[in-house]
A and B are shown apart, each in its own frame.
Chain A
Amino acid sequence: MTEATTAKRAQLQPPSSNVGVVGWLKTNLFSTWYNSLLTFILLGMLALTLPPVFQWAFIDSLWNSSAEACRNIEGACWSVVPHNFRFIILGFFPEGQEWRPILAMVLLLGLVIYSKERSRWKKSLAWLWLINLIVMGTLMSGGVLGMPVVETSQWSGLPLTLILSFFGMVVAYPMGIFLALGRRSKMPAIKTLCVVYIEMIRGVPLISLLFMSSIMFPLFLPEGVTIDKVLRALVAIILFTAAYIAEVVRGGLQAMPRGQYEAADSLGLNYYQTMRLIILPQALKIVIPPSVGILLSVFKDTSLVVIIALFDVLKTTMVTLSNPDWAGYSKEAYIFLALLYFVFCYAMSSYSRRLEKELHTGH
Chain B
Amino acid sequence: MDSLWSVIWSTDFAFSILRVTTPILFAALGALISNRAGIINIGLEGIMLVAALTGVVTSAYTHSAWVGLLCAVLSGVMIAGILAFFTLQFKTHIILGGIAINMFASGGTVFFLYLLSGDKGASSSLQSKVLPNVDIPLLKDVPVLGPILSGHNVLTYASIAAVFAVYYMMKRTPLGLRIRSVGENPHAAQSVGVSVVRTQYTALLLSGLLAGLGGAYMSMGYLSLFTRDMTAGRGWIAIAAESMGRSTTVGTTLTSFLFGAANALANALTVLKIPSELIATFPYAATVIGLLVYAIGESRKRKKAAVKPNEG
- Whether chains A and B associate is no
